[in-house]
Amino acid sequence: MSDNVIIFDTTLRDGEQALAASLSVREKLQIALALERLGVDVMEAGFPVSSPGDFESVRTIAENVKNSVVCGLSRAVAKDIDACGEALKVAERFRIHTFISTSTVHVESKLRRSFEDVLQMGVNAVKHAKKYTDDVEFSCEDAGRTPLDNLCRMVEAAIDAGATTVNIPDTVGYTIPSEFGGIITDLYNRVPNIDKAVISVHCHNDLGLAVANSISAVQAGARQIECTINGIGERAGNCSLEEVAMILNTRKDLTGVGTNINTQEIYKTSRLVSQLCNMPVQSNKAIVGANAFSHSSGIHQDGVLKNKSTYEIITPESIGKAENNLNMTSRSGRHVIKHRMSELGYTEADFNLDELYDSFLKLADRKGQVFDYDLEALLYFNQQQEEEQYYKLSYLNSVAGSAKVATAGITMTIGENEVEGAANGNGPVDAAYRAILNAVDLPIEIVDYKLGTKTGGEDAQGHANIIATYKGQRYHGFGLSTDIVEASAAALIHVLNLTHRADQVAEKKQAKNNK
């Protein structure tokens, strides 16, 4: 049996499907390239049949990622598998992942079929996927609650049909480690052809056991773990990639297996996913939480000062989290910013130093000291601005006061045209939003608005995150400024540009269908 565990990342599929708003194609590609640098063996890029946007994302990722296998998800039906084959065919190496539920409650209540039907559908799906690639993964959805006899029959039949990986998901996070490891042991003991496929696990975190269950399965012989960055995913999330990678790295003495993950990329990838997915990481989260390496009690601090290993089993450096001894202010030169970005794990290909330095200076002038998270936020914001801006805000003036109705006036360009708008509102942000939405006249509804900062203090940068709906889809907009009305307006302009790109993708697809 291999002494490496295959890391199958599903941030862009299971993780993304749980977000309040879909990621854009560009954001998904940005995450995919970060996952490739992180060294994931396989990345599940999406569910191509589910929407034109998802199809386009999977195709774009398949075109650009070279060092990881790119995978697409499909139900056990021919049209889903065909969509995967079509979206993935441009990839250097790709996998089709097809699944069907096998637990009694899913078979009877969700699928309303017999287990025999399901078995046959699974076999047909694997055979159909084999027409596109040798690399076919089959999943028994809700395997954790599937009667063992049925599970053994399904696994054996899927391998006979040609599945090269068989995945055992604990879809509802119901099992406990000894039980889940026991299921894998039973499969090894009872399925005669099991040595012909890699056994994979995919654990959800409903009882907080996704990581523990995955490690227990590896100890029982599983050799692929499906996981997501920061553990994002349906409900309580999926198994967290950074945790399993660091467990296998730190406790190889016990598990005897390693991974191909470049742990130095963990922190940076976690920050990127958190930022683009608008999913903050809790401070006490293992490995990547803000407090994961902070020692608070006097006794602990005393111990660490004498010998770090008294209270530290892994170092921040091992996940690419660098200490900062630099005071970054408007007096800092370009080389300081370049140096700090490289300490934070970014290469020159990741950012445009001229633009970053320019926005750094503007921020430093307004704010005084600039911190790492300010630099990273500027980087993401500048990257967002580099995309084609069909909608641009060129002027914004909003006036508010305790005794006055707030008013806002805006000028913006929509494509080639300049338009103006004005509105009253319930506060300056509301007035600015009304003015912009009056000018564009689109059926956009803001369903969530959050304004936050990373530090206290009146000079902190405002981070505006909004969720808006348009034509039944949700979009996440992000804006950044020391002026909260400007940050809020930028978040809405971001949403407008995302809806424009989504309309373009849908129009392209429609034109293709009409041909």
User: Closest approach of Cβ 14 to ligand KIV, in Å?
Assistant: 5
User: Closest approach of Cβ 169 to Zn ion, in Å?
Assistant: 6
Element spanning 235, H or E: none
* Angstrom distance (rounded) from CA 429 to CA 446: 12
| Interacting residue with ligand KIV among 102, 171, 270, 398 (CB under 6 A) | 171
User: Toward Zn ion, which CB reaches closer, 14 or 372?
Assistant: 14
Residue 41 DSSP class: S
User: Toward Zn ion, which CB reaches closer, 41 or 206?
Assistant: 206
| Interacting residue with ligand KIV among 59, 128, 202, 476 (CB under 6 A) | 202
Within 10 angstroms of residue 365's Cβ, the number of other Cβ atoms is 11
User: Toward ligand KIV, which CB reaches closer, 8 or 381?
Assistant: 8
Site string for Zn ion, 444-483 (x = CB under 5 A): ----------------------------------------
Binding of ligand KIV at residue 14 (CB under 6 A)? yes
User: Toward ligand KIV, which CB reaches closer, 98 or 407?
Assistant: 98
User: Toward ligand KIV, which CB reaches closer, 99 or 357?
Assistant: 99
User: Toward Zn ion, which CB reaches closer, 36 or 226?
Assistant: 226
Residue 372 DSSP class: H
CB contact at 8 A, 157 and 119: yes
| Interacting residue with ligand KIV among 24, 139, 270, 384 (CB under 6 A) | 139
**List of E strands, 171-260:** 198-203, 224-227
Q: Which amino acid is at 37?
A: R
**List of E strands, 158-197:** 165-170
User: Closest approach of Cβ 243 to ligand KIV, in Å?
Assistant: 18
User: Toward Zn ion, which CB reaches closer, 14 or 430?
Assistant: 14
Return the one option of Zn ion, ligand KIV, none that residue 141 interacts with (CB less than 5 to 8 A, by type): ligand KIV
CB contact at 8 A, 137 and 200: yes
Task: State residue 360 phi and psi, 5-degree precision.
Answer: -60, -45
Helix (H, G, I), strand (E, B) or coil at 362: helix
The residue count for binding Zn ion (CB under 5 A) is: 1
Residue 396 DSSP class: E
User: Toward ligand KIV, which CB reaches closer, 38 or 203?
Assistant: 203
Helix, strand, coil in percent for the chain, rounding step 5: 50, 20, 30
The residue count for binding ligand KIV (CB under 6 A) is: 9
How many residues in total does the chain contain?
515
User: Toward ligand KIV, which CB reaches closer, 227 or 491?
Assistant: 227
Instruction: Write down the residue that tokens 């981070």 correspond to.
Output: 463
Cα dist from 336 to 325, 347, 414, whole Å: 11, 14, 38
Return the one option of Zn ion, ligand KIV, none that residue 259 interacts with (CB less than 5 to 8 A, by type): none
Region from 167-175, 249-257, 322-330, 414-422 binding ligand KIV, contact rule CB under 6 A: 167-175
Region from 125-133, 166-174, 257-265, 312-320 binding ligand KIV, contact rule CB under 6 A: 166-174
Residue 229, burial from CB neighbour count under 10 angstroms (0-12, 13-18, 19+): buried
Helix (H, G, I), strand (E, B) or coil at 475: strand
| Interacting residue with Zn ion among 14, 36, 142, 376 (CB under 5 A) | 14
With vertex at residue 110, the alpha carbon angle to CA 186 and CA 120, rounded to the nearest 5 degrees, is 60
* Angstrom distance (rounded) from CA 19 to CA 234: 9
* Angstrom distance (rounded) from CA 269 to CA 281: 12
CB-based closest residue to Zn ion: 14
Q: Where are the alpha helices (DSSP H) in 2-43?
A: 25-38
Residues in region 204-243 near ligand KIV by CB under 6 A = 204
CB contact at 8 A, 324 and 343: yes
With vertex at residue 464, the alpha carbon angle to CA 16 and CA 495, rounded to the nearest 5 degrees, is 60
* Angstrom distance (rounded) from CA 122 to CA 139: 9
Binding of ligand KIV at residue 99 (CB under 6 A)? yes
User: Closest approach of Cβ 55 to ligand KIV, in Å?
Assistant: 18
User: Closest approach of Cβ 502 to Zn ion, in Å?
Assistant: 25
Return the one option of ligand KIV, Zn ion, none that residue 139 interacts with (CB less than 5 to 8 A, by type): ligand KIV
| Interacting residue with ligand KIV among 39, 169, 231, 462 (CB under 6 A) | 169
User: Closest approach of Cβ 153 to ligand KIV, in Å?
Assistant: 18
Residues with Cβ within 8 Å of residue 181, at least 6 apart in sequence = 213, 216, 217, 219, 220
Residues with Cβ within 8 Å of residue 196, at least 6 apart in sequence = 159
Region from 165-173, 249-257, 348-356, 467-475 binding ligand KIV, contact rule CB under 6 A: 165-173
Return the one option of ligand KIV, Zn ion, none that residue 56 interacts with (CB less than 5 to 8 A, by type): none
Region from 55-63, 80-88, 163-171, 409-417 binding ligand KIV, contact rule CB under 6 A: 163-171
Region from 11-19, 288-296, 362-370, 383-391 binding Zn ion, contact rule CB under 5 A: 11-19
User: Closest approach of Cβ 5 to ligand KIV, in Å?
Assistant: 17
User: Toward ligand KIV, which CB reaches closer, 50 or 369?
Assistant: 50
User: Toward ligand KIV, which CB reaches closer, 143 or 464?
Assistant: 143
Positions in the binding site for Zn ion (CB under 5 A): 14
Positions in the binding site for ligand KIV (CB under 6 A): 14, 99, 139, 141, 167, 169, 171, 202, 204
